[in-house]
Amino acid sequence: MNITLTVNGVQHEADVEPRTLLVYFLREQLGLTGTNVGCDTSSCGACTVLVDGESVKSCNLLAAQCHEREVTTIEGLATPGELHPVQRAFTEHHGLQCGYCTPGMIMAVVSYLRENPAPTGDEVRHALEGNLCRCTGYQNIVEAVLAAADDLRDAPASAS
């Protein structure tokens, strides 16, 4: 079936099998391999992307469901020459080790901080319950999110 959607600001028209999951459409048809797959039960959140600005597990959504919608992946987050504050905070606070869960984690955080711009540490932990990391023990991820929240509040116009 034919779908039309915008991914990272670029409009695509594509022919997809009805059963194609959004994540495989992004990875295999558009070549956007930054979004990873970590499970098959929508448990791990490695595949999180934004659909119309909301975080969504892209292994749990058909490409066809994104017809006429706007998708943002990790590749579309930074502006040329400038990282998104959440990306910057993850590297500044060592919020990643192997980096496999990181794209999904970052996208989930971008969406969450729009909903709750001034979270507490415990709120961040609950917000990220659907994003699993096996490397970091989460502490530095939570620190990164709190730092990114500060950064975004200080300069809300630079990225949102």
* Binding flags for another protein, 90-129, as an x/- string (CB under 8 A): xxx-x-xxxxxxxx--x--------------x--xxx-xx
Largest Cα–Cα distance in the chain?
A: 45
Nearer to another protein, 68 or 99 (CB): 99
Helices (H) and strands (E) in the chain, counts: 5, 5
24 binds another protein (CB under 8 A): yes
Contact with another protein (CB under 8 A): which of 17, 52, 54, 115? 17
* Per-residue buried b or exposed e for 114-147, using 16+ beta carbons within 10 Å of the residue's own CB: eeeeebeeeebeebbeebbbeebebebbbbbbbb
Contact 133, 120 (CB under 8 A): no
- Which residues are at the interface with another protein (CB under 8 A)? 17, 19, 24, 27-28, 32-41, 43-44, 46, 73-75, 77-78, 83, 87, 90-92, 94, 96-103, 106, 121, 124-126, 128-142
